[in-house]
Structure 1
Amino acid sequence: MSNIQELFKTKSSKVLNIYCTAGYPNLDSTLKVMEALQNNGADMIELGIPYSDPLADGPVIQGSGGVALQNGMTIKILLEQLKTMRNAGGNHSAGITVPVVLMGYMNPVLQYGFEKFCAHASAAGVDGLILPDLPIREFETEYGPVIRQYGLDFIFLVTPETSEERIRKIDALSTGFIYAVSSSSTTGKDKNFSDVELYLQRLQQMELKNPVLVGFGIKDKVTFQSACKYANGAIIGSAYIKALNENPDVEATTKKFLETILK
């Protein structure tokens, strides 16, 4: 059983996954941010690999990615940084124990070398991958076997427009969880939550084998709790990055931000 599956086995509701951008606010912030998130109540960390042309990201996450790229962040540097994340002692006293998912786009991963990327991510202790622009067909025929070979979970996205047939196919192919995008827009946009609830109820009624986490537009205690009514938890990204924009003191900002969600 993977770390992600283990998490959902022990905690099936109100799972909080926080997105952060690797190399933001500073090149060497990655592990500090991850540790602050873990210490203040995040159940899972989604680590964004900055990319110059992100399809699904709104202005806040795009902005943080731009800063991270200017800081010099690359896949090579990130995987180097992550090599020690599971180690206790040293700079990060307890080590990262929560599941860690890398979120990125195919172009930089293919430039790095797909199998090499999976091998290095797995060796560093990464648990799963989200690659929104990897088509299902290519996943089935070419990339899925490589991902599985290195023991990584793969998380697909579904939207309110995704057909039931496709959702069931994604459920069969996914491991870890399904990422339910709250609406067909970019991250960070405000949502009409009554529409979102109808969509999440539809997913719930399908009795999928994978847990469901909701993302896009989850930004505070109210939207987190709404999302958790019909799903196993939620993913918060833009709101956290925004908080770091306003105060780059990682420890203080993370503590305060997570308290507003969880208290």
Structure 2
Amino acid sequence: MSQRMNLLTEKNGGLFIPFITAGDPSAEATVEIALMLEEAGADLLELGIPYSDPLADGPTIQEASKRALESGITLEGAMKLVPIMRERGLTIPVVVFTYFNPLLQYGEERFTRVASEMGIDGILVPDIPYEESEELTNLCAENELALISLVAPTSKARIQKIAKRAQGFLYCVSSLGVTGERKKIDERVYEFLQTVKTSSPVPVAVGFGISSSEQVKEMHSHADGVIVGSALVSEIAKHKDALKDEKNRKDALLQLKTFVTSLISS
């Protein structure tokens, strides 16, 4: 793994991991949003590659993918944003979230090599089963990338098997289904997180539905990190026109930063 990812695994809880879609609402805005998120306290950036059939995502992120694709962003174009972020001062790890079909079309070996060259620290592929991930795991290892595992509240034996081989951080799905804001977190998640933490050698982060400061605070008391996606993407959508406009982008970014700090400062 990269040095940036190794440093992340050494952090002792309180991790904040935001998700944004590359190219939403524009490539330049994505770079600026990433820099703002680090300033606001993000420990790692999850950068979504827009895709026309995002099976694990709810309506909010589906719409973000649609906006990004309409702006002309491609898989390689999304990855090329990361070295621009690095040149502008981004120091936190970046994990690319992509589905297997575009990765396969691009070529797994080529994808992992290019990702590493671009300063990306890990990849997350939600629709590749753990049992079929060995080849991609090996390619990631060759290129010092962490293959981030997703674990859902299924059988205890399978949870432990996935957790023991986790790299970077372990993405725990708080509930079955697609991404999206939820007013209430299923209380069964607490037992699930305890099971995961007893087996995982890396930080345990929980996502899918975390959308309020109260939920962030509650999840931080049960997990090492919290992933916020749909709530942030929804806020970006509210300011999409201003974010695309260079003259108004600064004010929009300040409003986004206020939203983010309100989520994580409680």
Q: Same fold (TM over 0.5)?
A: yes
Determine if the alignment matches structure 1 residue 42 to structure 2 residue 42.
Answer: yes
1:80 deviation in Å?
Answer: 2.4
Q: Choose the corresponding residue for 1:224, options 209, 216, 238.
A: 216
Q: Which whole-Å CA distance do the structure 1 matches of 2:216 and 2:81 have between them?
A: 30
User: 1:244 maps to what in 2?
Assistant: 236
Determine if the alignment matches structure 1 residue 144 to structure 2 residue 137.
Answer: yes
Q: Which whole-Å CA distance do the structure 1 matches of 2:39 and 2:233 have between them?
A: 17
User: 1:261 maps to what in 2?
Assistant: 263
Determine if the alignment matches structure 1 residue 14 to structure 2 residue 14.
Answer: yes
User: 1:208 maps to what in 2?
Assistant: 200
1:241 deviation in Å?
Answer: 0.7
Quote the sequence identity (%): 38
Write the deviation string for residues 74-117 of structure 1: whole angstroms up to 9, x where unpaired.
Answer: 01212222233222xxxx3xx11011100010101111111111
Q: Which amino acid aligns with 1:81?
A: L
- Asked whether the equivalents of residues 216 and 264 of structure 2 are also in contact (C-alpha less than 8 Å), the reply is no
1:228 deviation in Å?
Answer: 1.0
Q: Which moved more, 1:73-82 or 1:246-255?
A: 246-255
- TM-score, scaled to structure 2: 0.90
Q: Secondary structure at the match of 1:214?
A: strand
Q: Which whole-Å CA distance do the structure 2 matches of 1:166 and 1:234 have between them?
A: 22
Q: Which whole-Å CA distance do the structure 2 matches of 1:207 and 1:150 have between them?
A: 26
The change in CA–CA distance for 1:202 and 1:174 in structure 2 (over 3 A counts) is closer
- Asked whether the equivalents of residues 27 and 72 of structure 1 are also in contact (C-alpha less than 8 Å), the reply is no
**Equivalent residue runs for 1:88-107 within 5 Å:** 92=88, 95-107=89-101
Determine if the alignment matches structure 1 residue 133 to structure 2 residue 135.
Answer: no
Q: Choose the corresponding residue for 1:157, options 150, 154, 161.
A: 150
Q: Which moved more, 1:206-215 or 1:243-252?
A: 243-252
1:193 deviation in Å?
Answer: 4.0
Q: Which amino acid aligns with 1:243?
A: E
- Asked whether the equivalents of residues 8 and 168 of structure 2 are also in contact (C-alpha less than 8 Å), the reply is no
- Asked whether the equivalents of residues 197 and 226 of structure 1 are also in contact (C-alpha less than 8 Å), the reply is no
Determine if the alignment matches structure 1 residue 197 to structure 2 residue 197.
Answer: no
Determine if the alignment matches structure 1 residue 29 to structure 2 residue 29.
Answer: yes
Q: Which amino acid aligns with 2:27?
A: L
- TM-score, scaled to structure 1: 0.91
Determine if the alignment matches structure 1 residue 120 to structure 2 residue 121.
Answer: no
**Equivalent residue runs for 1:68-87 within 5 Å:** 68-87=68-87
User: 1:4 maps to what in 2?
Assistant: 5
Write the deviation string for residues 202-255 of structure 1: whole angstroms up to 9, x where unpaired.
Answer: 323x24212110001111211111111111011000000111111234412321
Determine if the alignment matches structure 1 residue 59 to structure 2 residue 75.
Answer: no
1:160 deviation in Å?
Answer: 1.3
Structure 2: runs of 5 or more not aligned:
244-251
Q: Which moved more, 1:164-173 or 1:232-241?
A: 164-173
- Asked whether the equivalents of residues 149 and 170 of structure 2 are also in contact (C-alpha less than 8 Å), the reply is yes
Q: Which whole-Å CA distance do the structure 2 matches of 1:225 and 1:193 have between them?
A: 15
1:189 deviation in Å?
Answer: 4.0
Q: Secondary structure at the match of 2:187?
A: helix
Number of equivalent positions: 253
- Asked whether the equivalents of residues 193 and 226 of structure 1 are also in contact (C-alpha less than 8 Å), the reply is no
- Asked whether the equivalents of residues 140 and 146 of structure 2 are also in contact (C-alpha less than 8 Å), the reply is yes
